[in-house]
Amino acid sequence: MKRAIIKTTHLCKSFSIGKEKLDIINNMNLEIYEGDFTIIMGSSGAGKSTLLYAISTMDQYSQGKVELLGKDITSFNENQIAKIRKNDMAFIFQGINLLPDMTLFENVSFNGYSPSKSKKSVNQKAQLLLKKLGLEKDVYKYPSEVSGGQKQRTAIARALINEPKIIFADEPTGALNSSMGMVVLDILTQLNNEGQSIVMVTHDLKAASRGNRILYLKDGRIDGELSLDHLGEGSLKEREEVVYKFLNEKNW
């Protein structure tokens, strides 16, 4: 049986705009499982990013409970949040956010330095990760000297340096052209095949088809889900057809 690495109980998130209160996540009970490539889909404004931020400590929630890796983070203080973020989680976003004055190598290794690790071992790991992501010739370039796809692969290497238990990704291919996007999706698929748990928000059918479980969000609630487990590593085309049919039924 799969182990839940994220569990929400009666999760609610509202925003206040002036006197108006917008309920974005409504009383959500959800489990996300270890080893899964979980996809969060839904129409624009459905609350996908809001949910991702609430379950990943990136934003506070209004009510309810979130258990992350078996720990109730509801009452975590800033230090505890910083620790779980650094040790157990990684984030890959559309905006990439590499530090412009650091080389690709420095962007990756800098994130890994900690008093409990030798600098040498972190540097070696950064080199290995950059190599794994096909960037061995670019390690001493600056972000301004490489393409969007190379930057996004660097962001993935940076995300992996601390061996996160969960990767959270929000539209990681959103700013890339389709061939660069494919490269990034292939990397995420490979990582998931190696056991990495990933939770990804996407609008993109091709990206969604890489997951093994798709959650469809509507008005801040889970309005349906699709498992692709039965397809194994079947062809991408077959996966895309199954996902397309599911989304069509949801009037996506």
Ligand X SMILES: Nc1ncnc2c1ncn2[C@@H]1O[C@H](COP(=O)(O)OP(=O)(O)OP(=O)(O)O)[C@@H](O)[C@H]1O
Q: Which of 18, 44, 78, 137 binds ligand X (CB under 6 A)?
A: 44
Q: Are 112 and 161 in contact (CB under 8 A)?
A: yes
d(CA 245, CA 225): 12
Closest to ligand X by CB, 60 or 80? 60
- Name which of residues 61 to 90 contact ligand X (CB under 6 A): none
Of the ranges 14-22, 145-153, 192-200, 224-232, which one interacts with ligand X (CB under 6 A)?
14-22
Cβ(94)–Cβ(172) below 8 Å: yes
3-state secondary structure of 193: helix
Options 10, 29, 45, 249; binder of ligand X; rule CB under 6 A: 45
**48 lies in the site for ligand X, by CB under 6 A:** yes
Helix axes 148-160, 178-193, angle to 10 degrees: 20
| Residue 137, burial from CB neighbour count under 10 angstroms (0-12, 13-18, 19+) | exposed
189 to 228: interface string for ligand X, x by CB under 6 A: --------------x-------------------------
Closest distance of CB 215 from ligand X, Å:
12
- Do 135 and 150 form a contact (C-beta atoms < 8 A)? yes
When binding is defined by CB under 6 A, the residue of 2, 3, 10, 15 that contacts ligand X is: 15
The minimum distance between CB 46 and ligand X, in angstroms, equals 4
Shortest Å, Cβ 22 to ligand X = 6
Label the pairing between strands 89-93 and 166-170. Answer: parallel
Check binding of 113 to ligand X (CB under 6 A). Answer: no
Tokens found for residue 63: 């009510």
If binding is defined by CB under 6 A, does position 49 make contact with ligand X? yes
Chosen residue from 11, 46, 228, 247 binding ligand X by CB under 6 A = 46
Classified as helix, coil or strand, 75 is coil
- Tell me the torsion sign for CA atoms 205, 189, 237, 247: negative
- Look up tokens 């949040």; give the residue: 81
Residues contacting ligand X: total by CB under 6 A: 13
Phi-psi category of 111—alpha, beta or left, where left has phi over 0 and alpha has psi -120 to 50?
Answer: alpha
> Least Å distance between CB 73 and ligand X?
19
DSSP 57: T
Q: How far is the CB of 102 from ligand X (least distance, A)?
A: 29
Binding region for ligand X (CB under 6 A) out of 39-47, 117-125, 132-140, 233-241: 39-47
| Contact stretch for ligand X (CB under 6 A) within 16-24, 86-94, 130-138, 183-191 | 16-24
Q: Does 42 bind ligand X (CB under 6 A)?
A: yes
Please answer whether residues 161 and 126 qualify as being in contact, where contact means their C-beta atoms are separated by less than 8 angstroms.
Answer: yes
Within 13 Å and on the Cβ side, how many CA atoms surround 23? 10
- Binding site residues, ligand X, CB under 6 A: 15, 17, 22, 24, 42, 44-50, 203
